[in-house]
């Protein structure tokens, strides 16, 4: 199989594929189809072949797992090959380091004792308990809306709510090209007509609203407040301003800003919540559990309850996770210095990387990209980094264009200044070695 692919793809593509670009497996299926191989058993054999090759060169990354001794460091291992490294851990979104906070752990343990492990059924058929109701009330208030609806994950909140809201051909959805996969999956599942607009390009959005929106009864615009691959802020004010000329419903995913501001969300910080019809967030990041929530008006909450299959037909979020979320919100409210500490570290790390001349984009958030802009260098630097004890995500082609490949560091309050310094020091050394810093 590999030989057949090699002939068809030519050496370069195969080299990249086998060398370890972590999403190249997606290309294999396309390439297999080009070769006339579409039977999934044959495609699965091809995937497995690529995995075997990548495992030998030590770059297969689908099986990596971590045994974290603390929130920010631990042993990184892989099922596919026998490599283990003590690493500083950078791919985790526990922005406030609350997953080991005693108050949070204690609340989850108590709920486990009181309510047991799972819910056994969906929210619609009685899976929720009083903790879920308490959390929905509190989340609605944090998100600045009348009501909120809990889903078991952020992924299913987006898929469920968007596919339920924008159902059918009377609907049209415009979304930022950099939106998360769960948003795009929800849009595709909805059966609505849809178009991406260029990332953060308000003129492109306005042009598309002008050109297409009038043809549909219901128009939705979907964006993230902070984009997960670049850490960039959405141009929320400009998007809300478009509402004075166009009739659309605005859906904002606050996954990477929820809980990180004294106002709790970026929409609230900017005073825009009233212009936003749906505020969504995941609960797996700052609140360090799992779950998703969509906050909106009472009427739209009822609508989503009735229309979202992910609410109707998916087992509810376990009570221990709900208790952890509530406790995490308590801790965030009672410990304002956590936010100050996080933002001080963000400025420190961003400042140091910028001083080195590294390209870290336009963002200001705890998601810090380091643009490498060359796939081969990204791969080699990533391997060296791992061998020297730094574990982070390579955002590689085809997730982004070759010219936009980058590392992504997610800074958490639990990272120490010493860990930041070690990471920046290594990036300086490798950046000079590979000509990224001149
Ligand atoms: C912007 C955004 N939305 C939704 C999700 C899905 O959330 P979860 O992983 O908690 O299901 C993510 C996850 O990373 C995300 O980055």
Listed residues 279, 311, 334: the one ending a domain: 334
Residue 85 has pLDDT above 50, yes or no: yes
In-domain check, residue 324:
yes
Mean pLDDT of the chain: 92
Instruction: Judge if 83 and 136 occupy the same domain.
Output: no
159, 234: one domain: yes
Task: Indicate which residue's Cα is closest to atom 7 of ligand 1.
Answer: 154
Q: Is 224 in the pocket of ligand 1 (CB under 6 A)?
A: yes
Give dist(CA 362, CA 365) in Å, integer: 9
Q: Are 78 and 65 within 8 A, CB to CB?
A: yes
Instruction: Determine if ligand 1 sits within 6 Å of the CB of residue 284.
Output: yes
pLDDT of residue 332: 98
Q: Are residues 313 and 413 in the same domain?
A: no
Averaged pLDDT, 103-125:
97
Q: How far apart are CA 316 and CA 323, in angstroms?
A: 14
pLDDT band at 13 (very low <50, low <70, confident <90, very high): low
pLDDT score for 17: 52
Q: Is 52 exposed, middle or buried (0-12, 13-18, 19+ CB in 10 A)?
A: middle
Mutation choice for ligand 1 from 158, 255, 290, CB with most ligand atoms inside 8 A? 255
Q: Are 175 and 199 in contact (CB under 8 A)?
A: no
Other CB atoms within 10 A of residue 237 CB: 12
| Boundary (domain end) residue, out of 307, 334, 361 | 334
Confirm whether 438 is domain-assigned: no
Per cent of the chain over pLDDT 70 is 92
Distance between Cα 78 and ligand 1 center (Å): 23
Among 220, 230, 289, which Cα is nearest to 252's?
220
Query: Best mutation site among 94, 151, 153, 182 for ligand 1, i.e. most ligand atoms within 8 A of its Cβ?
Result: 182
| Residues 357 and 403 placed together within one structural domain of the fold | yes
CB 160 within 8 A of CB 185: no
Tell whether 86 and 143 lie within a shared domain: no
Lowest mean pLDDT among 72-76, 266-270, 371-375: 72-76
Number of domains comprising the chain? 3
Average pLDDT estimate for 261-265: 98
Phi, psi of 385 (to 5 degrees): -60, -45
Which residues span the domain enclosing 174? 101-334
Has residue 426 been placed in a domain? yes
Task: State the CATH number of the domain containing residue 129.
Answer: 3.40.640.10
Do 340 and 329 lie in a common domain? no
Choose one of 283, 313, 334: the last residue of a domain: 334
- The span from the CA of 36 to the CA of 131, in Å, is 53
253 lines ligand 1 (CB under 6 A): yes
373: left (phi over 0), alpha (psi -120 to 50) or beta: left
User: 421 and 392, same structural domain?
Assistant: yes
């Amino acid at each position: 199989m590999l030989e057949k692919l090699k002939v068809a793809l030519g050496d370069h593509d195969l080299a990249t594929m086998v060398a370890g670009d972590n999403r190249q497996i997606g290309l294999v299926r396309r390439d297999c189809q080009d070769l006339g191989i579409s039977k999934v058993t044959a495609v699965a054999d091809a995937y497995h072949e690529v995995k075997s090759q990548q495992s030998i060169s030590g770059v297969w990354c689908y099986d990596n797992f971590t045994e974290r001794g603390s929130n920010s460091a631990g042993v990184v291992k892989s099922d596919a090959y026998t490599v283990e490294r003590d690493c500083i851990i950078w791919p985790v979104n526990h922005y406030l380091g609350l997953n080991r906070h005693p108050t949070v752990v204690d609340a989850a343990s108590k709920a486990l004792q009181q309510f047991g492990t799972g819910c056994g059924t969906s929210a619609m058929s009685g899976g929720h308990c009083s903790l879920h109701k308490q959390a929905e009330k509190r989340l609605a208030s944090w998100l600045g809306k009348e009501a909120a609806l809990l889903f078991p994950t952020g992924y299913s909140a987006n898929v469920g709510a968007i596919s339920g809201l924008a159902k059918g051909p009377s609907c049209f959805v415009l979304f930022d090209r950099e939106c998360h996969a769960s948003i795009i999956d929800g849009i595709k599942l909805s059966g609505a007509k849809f178009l991406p607009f260029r990332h953060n390009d308000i003129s492109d959005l306005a042009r598309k609203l002008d050109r297409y929106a009038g043809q549909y009864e219901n128009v939705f615009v979907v964006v993230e407040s902070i984009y997960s691959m670049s850490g960039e802020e959405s141009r929320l004010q400009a998007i809300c301003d478009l509402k004075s000329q166009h009739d659309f419903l605005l859906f904002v995913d606050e996954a990477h800003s929820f809980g990180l501001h004294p106002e709790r969300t970026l929409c609230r910080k900017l005073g825009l919540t009233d212009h936003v019809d749906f505020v969504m967030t995941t609960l797996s990041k700052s609140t360090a559990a799992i779950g998703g929530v969509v906050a909106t008006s009472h009427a739209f909450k009822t609508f989503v309850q009735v229309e979202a299959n992910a609410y109707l037909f998916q087992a509810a979020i376990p009570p221990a996770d709900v208790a952890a979320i509530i406790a995490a919100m308590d801790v965030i409210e009672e410990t304002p210095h956590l936010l100050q500490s996080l933002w001080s570290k963000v400025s420190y790390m961003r400042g140091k990387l910028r001083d080195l001349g590294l390209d870290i984009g336009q963002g200001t958030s705890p998601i810090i990209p380091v643009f490498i802009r060359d796939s081969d260098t990204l791969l080699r630097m990533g391997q060296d980094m791992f061998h020297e004890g730094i574990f982070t995500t390579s955002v590689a082609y085809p997730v982004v264009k070759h010219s936009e490949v980058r590392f992504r560091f997610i800074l958490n309050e639990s990272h120490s200044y010493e860990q930041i310094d070690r990471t920046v020091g290594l990036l300086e050394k490798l950046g000079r070695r590979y000509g990224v810093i001149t």
